[in-house]
A and B are shown apart, each in its own frame.
Chain A
Amino acid sequence: MKNFMALFATPVQRVTGILAIVTLYVTLANGLLPPDSFLYVSDYSVTLLGKYLCYALLALSVDLVWGYCGILSLGHGAFFALGGYAMGMYLMRQIGDRGVYGNADLPDFMVFLNWDVLPWFWAGSDSFIWMVVMVVLAPGLLAYIFGVMAFRSRVSGVYLSIMTQAMTYALLLAFFRNEMGFGGNNGLTDFKDILGYSLQSGSTRLSLFIITAVVLWLAFFICNRIVNSKAGKIVMAIRDAENRSRFVGYNTASYKVALFTFSAVLAGIAGALYVPQVGIINPGEFSPINSIEMVIWVAIGGRGTLYGAIVGALVVSYAKTRFTAIMPEAWLFALGGLFVLVTLLLPKGLVGLWPTLKAKAQQLWPKTKEQAL
């Protein structure tokens, strides 16, 4: 037992262990158990879990820039959505002539708009490889350009947050327009299959869930390596004393741009994994409130810890699923209340709760003993 617990000593081992156990259990329970068993995991639950893991990956990317570099991005939803749209375009093209209008070359919404050729930016979207490239490139490039402009001009703090929020809002408005060529208001949906596998089948859904779990683990591992490297220390130094870091000889703007871009790519990958599991991507994903919710996940879980971000995303998403089923209109109040409570009472988030309680208990115990004597 002790040996077994030792496997969970460090955060990396804990995340690895728990992810592995959950993935293995879900795989076995979904694949082998009969549907009427108590331990059975339905296809619906598999997809729901996959969705949560995408959120966890997204939260991880927010924590990397916010928790470690103090860049409070209120626009990470934009990178998530761009990755999602890149995947959505590929999935749209996979429908082929099975759409309502039966047009083999054009997605339904284009036929509906009386377009006769694919817009230039849809070129190559039927290739899986191109899609993967775009999932990385679209959010990465946007973040890079945004980062260069903002960080070179030394914009920081609340001004930067407002700019990121404005960025995602601008994209929301742009993607709402039919002329943009991304399906306007309705977005991209009615996907049929990915790489020839039907998105409706249980095995595809399970595979997507497993892939998401593996990608999340990989991303966590890489982020952990980054924050523990010398570069990670520099990033923290920039967070706490940017001027000092400059006078020590670091080009702080390049570090911020690099970290922000990497984080945006992670968010984009999360979006790409999210879309085939939920079956739709629309401009709503760009809405500012989504980006704020991501920040709340990280704050609730515990910023600056990486695994805290994962915990926060999972806990809040699960609570949201439950809450919105019972009292949909109360959810935003519950979320807001939770945020206020956590900020006031748990500055280190949920993952900071345990060490705090332990310290409190140690403080209290000797006292009560003395009193008893």
Chain B
Amino acid sequence: MKQQASVMGATENLVPDTRHGVILYMENVSVSFDGFKALNDLNLYINDGELRCLIGANGAGKTTLMDVITGKTRPDQGKVNFGQQIDLLKLNEAEIAQAGIGRKFQKPTVFEALSVYENLYLSLKMDKGIWCSLWHKLNGEQKDDIERILATIGLTEQRHGLAGNLSHGQKQWLEIGMLLAAKPRVLLVDEPVAGMTLQETERTAELLTSLAGEHSVVVVEHDMSFVRSIARTVTVLHQGSVLAEGTMAQIQSHPDVKRVYLGEEST
């Protein structure tokens, strides 16, 4: 236990070094499952504070990419760094989360048996060891943080209701709120508007754009109109590597993208 605590303490003190303006480095990353190359020699750099959209067909490697960054999947080769100096491949999921990378899943996953308030409480950035959790009491600052997030995600009224009783869209927001509570440097958001109504989608777009700057936000999304409404830089993944990168207009006129998406796919 003691050893564990010291390891966690160490990661908490690590602040990613972003002097070069880049917060996430992925270099020559490859992952294969039974011979299928989910990621193939991928190179990707996310700048500090930017909002980046990742698009690509099914199987292009979007979710695998997120799995690699958050420690769920280990790559066969390559380098994944948080800032210049933190090697994410040496940390486990919990340590990566504590270092400041938050992730929202494709399917909204919140703690259904707990209240909205408790969901945010558990997500707050703080010592996450057992001993601390046994005796923990919220202080004023933390309560303010929760209130602020409740207001941001529009769930102030539902605060004491069970998370399991929220609508699909509300669960998506709660999950984004949980990410915010952890005060991450990087937010990885997997299909945030899947199954949302038009209004909900608009609000989510506003929310995500307002988060960029203070946080770096990486969004994976299929909904092209949504991507167009929020994106400044778009990266297109194809067969496990980066096909094109640029503004939406650049992407749409990119010859490789046209070739792949207009059916002239080479084998």
Contacts and interface: CB of A to CB of B under 8 A. Distances in A.
Interface of A: 226, 229-231, 233-234, 236-237, 239-241, 243-252, 254-255, 258
A251 B128 contact: yes
Given A230-B122, A251-B4, A237 B130 contact: no
Contacts of B262: none
A243 B1 CA distance: 21
Contacts of A241: 109-112
Contacts of A250: 94, 122, 128
Given A237-B114, A244-B109, A245-B122, 6 more contacts: A230-B136, A231-B133, A236-B114, A246-B94, A249-B94, A250-B128
B182 A248 contact: yes
B105 A248 contact: no
Interface in B85-129: 92-94, 97-98, 102-103, 105, 109-114, 118, 121-123, 128-129
B242 interface: no
Contacts of A255: 130
B1 A249 contact: no
A226 B135 CA distance: 9
B218 interface: no
B114 A233 contact: yes
Contacts of A231: 130, 133-134, 136
Among A243, A245, A247, A249, max chain B CB count under 10 A is at A249
A234 B121 CA distance: 10
Contacts of A226: 134
A254 B113 contact: no
26 contacts: A229-B134, A230-B122, A230-B134, A231-B130, A231-B133, A231-B134, A233-B114, A234-B133, A240-B113, A241-B109, A241-B110, A241-B112, A243-B105, A244-B105, A244-B109, A244-B111, A247-B70, A247-B93, A247-B97, A247-B103, A248-B97, A249-B128, A251-B4, A251-B92, A254-B4, A254-B129
A94 to B, nearest CB: 36
A236 B121 CA distance: 14
Complex A-B, nearest 10 residue pairs according to Cβ-Cβ distance, in ascending order: A249-B97, A231-B133, A246-B93, A237-B111, A230-B136, A249-B98, A244-B109, A231-B134, A230-B133, A251-B94
A246 B128 contact: no
Contacts of B93: 246-247
Interface in B1-36: 1, 4, 8
Contacts of B1: 254, 258
Nearest to B109: A244
B178 interface: yes
A368 B226 CA distance: 53
A239 B111 CA distance: 9
A239 B113 CA distance: 10
B130 A254 contact: yes
B97 A246 contact: yes
Contacts of B92: 246, 251
Contacts of B114: 233, 236-237
Contacts of B103: 247
A82 to B, nearest CB: 22
A191 B92 CA distance: 52
Contacts of A248: 97, 122-123, 128, 178, 182
A230 B121 contact: yes
Interface in B132-179: 133-136, 178
B94 A229 contact: no
